[in-house]
A and B are shown apart, each in its own frame.
Chain A
């Protein structure tokens, strides 16, 4: 799983605009550069998330500017803020509505571990409910930190074996 797939190869002997690549690498390349986020803004981290998507930091440089408020159109859920138990049920429900493949970024201390809210009302990290791919530290993290987390997620996606792992059933039936 840890082998990095070579994304692209160019053969100079062939005329024209032809490149060779592996299917996994091509799929991963496309997926990682058009991550449509589901902005799960629950607290002050959402303000930084908004800043990250605005012109100064401009998350669209990484292909993740299309904030989708419908989970059915989203690829990555950015949990930004304090997850109370009451809200956790809604977060889980929205996560379940997102189509595969999907990823999750826990943005900030609260979403990662409950943060400073050691209390009866707060879920101690969203990873108790949904699988998290990238944790971004900070309270709240600066937009650069979120962009770094997004780039880490892109690097993670590039290492996935999309066809063999996710289309296992299809391959067996061939």
Chain B
């Protein structure tokens, strides 16, 4: 079976749920309805040999509606081809059905999406945060979350402060001084060393 056959069979099986098919550099993407995500995934696994879920990711289209998008990257180890499924998640609803019972690897992937993007997965067996600590109030990969972070005030539990960005994550002041002088966030214990003494470049 080739990828074209698989997509054709899938479209015959779910004529109403598959909205759009995109081809880009040999990669096939199907835009599907969220309500039939589980049915399509089960069908793809059991009938078409998509036995491997490579990755689940989410996209934040901030300012648009529907705001979020879930991306499922499937692979068939037997037939050696990929298939990408995309589905939309609205900001008001903010939920998606879990596929962790179809592919067990989805458990942690969905926890990561929940942690960083805030999309909740219905019937997930263990929907806890995976990277930030339990009780952290924000979802950092959303577009309206600043890169430097926000102050968290959970006394006795944890805290976080905005990181000193000074305009961006990687910035230097354009002078001919040392790396210490060029770094706007440097904390100095005493006087700044003279450039002659600690010149970084010849």
- Measured CB to CB, the residues of A under 8 A from B are 85-86, 88-89, 113-114, 116-124, 128
Q: Which of B132, B145, B162 contacts A85 (CB 8 A)?
A: B132
The residue on B at minimum CB distance from A113 is B187
Query: When A and B form their complex, which 6 residue pairs have the shortest distance between CB atoms, in order from nearest?
Result: A120-B149, A118-B163, A118-B169, A86-B133, A120-B140, A85-B160
Measured between beta carbons, the chain B residues less than 8 angstroms from A117 are: 163
The smallest C-beta distance from B178 to any residue of chain A, in angstroms, reads 13
Across the interface, do A124 and B161 meet the contact criterion of CB distance under 8 Å?
yes
**Interface assignment of B158: CB less than 8 Å from any CB of chain A:** yes
Given contacts A85-B133, A89-B133, A113-B187, A120 and B158 within 8 Å (CB-CB): no
Measured CA separation A154–B140 after assembly (Å):
42
Across the interface, do A116 and B170 meet the contact criterion of CB distance under 8 Å?
yes
Residue picked from A85, A88, A89, A123, most chain B C-beta under 10 Å: A85
Given contacts A85-B158, A89-B158, A113-B187, A118 and B164 within 8 Å (CB-CB): yes
Given contacts A86-B133, A114-B163, A119 and B148 within 8 Å (CB-CB): yes
The residue on A at minimum CB distance from B145 is A120
Measured between beta carbons, the chain B residues less than 8 angstroms from A122 are: 163
- Measured CB to CB, the residues of B under 8 A from A are 131-133, 138, 140, 145-150, 158-165, 169-170, 185, 187
Measured CA separation A68–B158 after assembly (Å):
27
Across the interface, do B140 and A86 meet the contact criterion of CB distance under 8 Å?
no
Pairs across A and B, CB under 8 Å, 21 listed: A85-B133, A85-B159, A86-B132, A86-B133, A116-B170, A117-B163, A118-B148, A118-B164, A119-B148, A119-B149, A119-B163, A119-B169, A120-B145, A120-B146, A120-B148, A120-B149, A120-B160, A121-B131, A121-B132, A121-B149, A124-B161
Measured between beta carbons, the chain A residues less than 8 angstroms from B187 are: 113
Measured CA separation A116–B185 after assembly (Å):
11
Chain B contact surface mostly: loop
Measured between beta carbons, the chain A residues less than 8 angstroms from B164 are: 118, 124
The residue on B at minimum CB distance from A129 is B159
Measured between beta carbons, the chain B residues less than 8 angstroms from A123 are: 160
Across the interface, do B165 and A118 meet the contact criterion of CB distance under 8 Å?
yes
The smallest C-beta distance from B4 to any residue of chain A, in angstroms, reads 42
- Contacts A85-B133, A85-B159, A120-B150 known; 7 new A-B pairs at CB < 8 A: A86-B133, A89-B158, A118-B163, A120-B138, A120-B163, A121-B140, A122-B163
Measured between beta carbons, the chain A residues less than 8 angstroms from B160 are: 85, 120, 123
Measured CA separation A121–B129 after assembly (Å):
13
The residue on A at minimum CB distance from B150 is A120
Across the interface, do B133 and A124 meet the contact criterion of CB distance under 8 Å?
no
Measured between beta carbons, the chain A residues less than 8 angstroms from B149 are: 119-121
The residue on A at minimum CB distance from B149 is A120
The residue on B at minimum CB distance from A112 is B187
Measured CA separation A114–B159 after assembly (Å):
15
Measured CA separation A86–B140 after assembly (Å):
14
Measured CA separation A86–B128 after assembly (Å):
14
Given contacts A119-B148, A120-B140, A120-B149, A86 and B131 within 8 Å (CB-CB): yes
Measured CA separation A121–B138 after assembly (Å):
11
The residue on A at minimum CB distance from B187 is A113
The residue on A at minimum CB distance from B136 is A85
The residue on B at minimum CB distance from A114 is B163
The residue on B at minimum CB distance from A87 is B133
Measured between beta carbons, the chain A residues less than 8 angstroms from B138 are: 120
The smallest C-beta distance from A95 to any residue of chain B, in angstroms, reads 15
The smallest C-beta distance from B163 to any residue of chain A, in angstroms, reads 4
